[in-house]
Amino acid sequence: MLDKSLKSSDDWSDSWVQHIEKYLAAPPRCGIWLYSYFSRKTLSFLECAGGSCRDSRFLFEKKLQSVGSDFDEKTLNYLFRRFSDIKFPLSKEDAFALSFDDDTFDVVFHNGFWIYFDDVKILSLLKEQARVSKRYAVVLVHNARNQALVDRFKEMSVKDVLYKARFFDIDALEEILKLSGLKHRGVKYEKFGGPFDILFAFERKIPFLSPLVRWLVPRLYRYQPWDKVERIAMIIELDK
């Protein structure tokens, strides 16, 4: 369940503002991975609960139809000012009740959002995510099999409530999908994040290597052992 101290938009803003510049400065790993995973398809994207929306912005800068969204107006206003030059579309959205029509986007994704909720809330989020998507719902969650990461989050949560996160394994995700009753053609579970992310350090030191690094890293994730993987990416191909 979302920590009690973060239930209101103002509470979330106060906590999130301490992190946003750090997120904006970091590589848009999820966007890079999505661009790689769906590389042969021209698709439209919506990022739910995007916070910094760096991943949907990355996809937009790759000339794809991509919209970032978050429920926090202060964050969105900051991003509007920060990226006014690229006309990146941002929308204030409640992920439990999105303003978009059914089947608006090809892919609706979020990265890490489920970690603050119980199963009842998650089922509601997944159904709403699938409602506005006509092809894929993509969910990234923290990996319970990575014990070192679990321990690190527990330690950091003492000082920062944003780290009071829920971790998942594939069995838990399977059960949630089953309970949701969503019609789907298939589901895949991919590895995301981990030791190979260290390669992103090279693009900061040697910028001309950036295209190679961003092509290579998402393709290397699959070779990591599960106990070293940061997150599980669940890709649901909807049956619509």
Q: How confident is the model at residue 98 (pLDDT cuts 50, 70, 90)?
A: very high
pLDDT at 78: 87
Give the pLDDT confidence of 2-56 residue by residue, as tens digits: 444 444 445 555 555 567 888 888 999 999 999 999 997 899 999 999 999 999 9
**Is residue 99 classed exposed, middle or buried when 0-12, 13-18 and 19+ CB atoms within 10 A define those classes?**
exposed
From CA 19, how far away is CA 227, in angstroms rounded?
26
56/96 Cα distance (integer angstroms): 19
- pLDDT the model gives residue 16: 56
pTM above 0.85, yes or no: yes
DSSP 227: G
Say if CB 1 and CB 121 are below 8 A apart. Answer: yes
72 neighbors 101 (Cβ within 8 angstroms): no
- The tokens for 186 are 């298939």
